[in-house]
């Protein structure tokens, strides 16, 4: 038996894994092991048990301020099976537990995640097998407690903005919306904000363009923040030091000229 720790473990995040030696398999991740992972994150109503036939693991996920993942992999012999026309395969995942995200609570009873796309009446016959039965309950606390709400558009506009990148100045289509969120039950929660969507032909690689990008701002924030966020998003997804072939010659000529002028 031997223990492995991440070198950058700290109170906010980390992982410790205990491996058990097995002469039959020398590949590290296939060895029987128990792993504990933690992450600082406030979400108090969460507890899950996940049985994964693909990874051959039992995972216990629970948190209050810290998220803890306690997993047992390649230790147990029995895992949930997925029903496939002619038989069963050890490749299914089952969940039991409760999840809380923002104002939503989801309760899972032997939930496999594959039945969400099917209505109870239109679900294929093999989904009705007891081995993959599930029940999911969604409780939207925001709707129940805070009550109904709606967005009102105060101002909306479409225009073109010039965005300067290292190699070229591009035309970017901008959809701007200034909105007012109103609650019927609690008016003091009402607020205003801005939503900005960017669309352009800017490339992040030779064969790939960045899709539409949304930025949401507070009422008192300037729209230039959205432009800066969009620029950061493009540079973040680009390959390091990558320049479109169309502008590469012009860009390097510009850099050379700048170096010459700086030497003088």
Residues 29, 34, 40, 41, CA torsion sign:
positive
Non-local CB neighbours of 132 within 8 Å, separated by 6+ positions:
80, 82, 83, 92, 94, 110, 112, 114, 115
Q: Is the pTM of this model over 0.75?
A: no
Tell whether 153 and 244 lie within a shared domain.
yes
Helix (H) or strand (E) run with residue 252 in it: helix 245-263
Domain containing residue 123: 2-145
Is residue 236's pLDDT more than 70? yes
Tell whether 30 and 131 lie within a shared domain.
yes
Q: Among 117, 145, 173, which residue terminates a domain?
A: 145
Tell whether 163 and 197 lie within a shared domain.
yes
Q: How many domains does the chain have?
A: 2
Question: Rounded to an integer, what distance in angstroms lies between the CA atom of residue 76 and that of residue 133?
Answer: 22
Q: Among 121, 145, 169, which residue terminates a domain?
A: 145
Residue at 261 is within a domain:
no
Residue at 257 is within a domain:
no
Q: Is 111 exposed, middle or buried (0-12, 13-18, 19+ CB in 10 A)?
A: buried
Tell whether 85 and 214 lie within a shared domain.
no
Tell whether 170 and 113 lie within a shared domain.
no
CA-to-CA dists, residue 244 to 10, 102, 165, 204, 213, angstroms: 41, 41, 11, 8, 20
Residue at 171 is within a domain:
yes
Tell whether 204 and 132 lie within a shared domain.
no
Tell whether 131 and 153 lie within a shared domain.
no
Residue at 132 is within a domain:
yes
Cβ atoms < 10 Å from Cβ of 61? 18
Between these two residues, 73 and 22, which has the higher pLDDT value? 73
Closest residue by Cα to residue 54 from 36, 76, 22, 79? 79
Tell whether 102 and 153 lie within a shared domain.
no
Token digits for 41? 């994150």
Closest residue by Cα to residue 68 from 92, 85, 47? 47
Residues 194, 157, 166, 230, CA torsion sign:
positive
Residue at 253 is within a domain:
no
Residue at 207 is within a domain:
yes
Residue at 254 is within a domain:
no
Query: What's the pLDDT band for 178 if we cut at 50, 70, 90?
Result: very high
Model confidence pLDDT, tens digit, residues 97-114: 887 766 677 787 777 655
Tell whether 99 and 180 lie within a shared domain.
no
Tell whether 132 and 171 lie within a shared domain.
no
Tell whether 168 and 45 lie within a shared domain.
no
Model confidence pLDDT, tens digit, residues 4-45: 888 888 888 888 998 887 655 566 667 888 998 888 876 667
Tell whether 49 and 63 lie within a shared domain.
yes
Model confidence pLDDT, tens digit, residues 128-162: 444 445 566 677 777 788 888 899 999 999 999 99
Residue at 196 is within a domain:
yes
Q: Among 129, 145, 161, which residue terminates a domain?
A: 145
């Amino acid at each position: 038996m031997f223990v492995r720790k991440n070198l950058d473990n700290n109170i906010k995040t980390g992982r410790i894994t205990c491996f058990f030696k097995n002469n039959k398999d020398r590949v590290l991740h296939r060895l029987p092991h128990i792993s504990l992972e933690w992450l600082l994150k406030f979400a108090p109503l969460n507890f899950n048990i996940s049985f994964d036939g693909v990874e051959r693991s039992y995972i216990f996920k629970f948190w209050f301020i810290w998220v803890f993942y306690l997993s047992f992999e390649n230790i147990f012999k029995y895992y949930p099976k997925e029903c496939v026309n002619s038989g069963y395969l050890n490749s299914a995942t089952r969940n039991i537990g409760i999840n809380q995200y923002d104002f939503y609570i989801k309760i899972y009873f032997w939930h496999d995640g594959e039945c969400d796309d099917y209505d109870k009446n239109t679900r294929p016959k093999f989904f009705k097998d007891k081995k993959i039965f599930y029940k999911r309950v969604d409780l939207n606390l925001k709707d129940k407690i805070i009550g109904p709400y709606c967005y009102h558009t105060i101002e909306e506009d479409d225009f073109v903005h010039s965005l300067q990148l290292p190699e070229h100045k591009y035309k970017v289509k901008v959809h701007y919306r200034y909105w007012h969120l109103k609650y019927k039950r609690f008016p003091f929660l009402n607020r205003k904000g801005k939503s900005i969507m960017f669309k352009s032909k800017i490339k992040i690689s030779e064969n790939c363009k960045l899709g539409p990008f949304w930025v949401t701002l507070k009422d008192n924030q300037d729209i230039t923040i959205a432009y800066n966020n969009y620029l950061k998003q493009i540079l973040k997804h680009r390959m390091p030091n990558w320049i479109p072939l169309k502008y590469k010659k012009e860009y390097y000529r510009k850099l050379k000229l700048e170096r010459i002028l700086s030497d003088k």
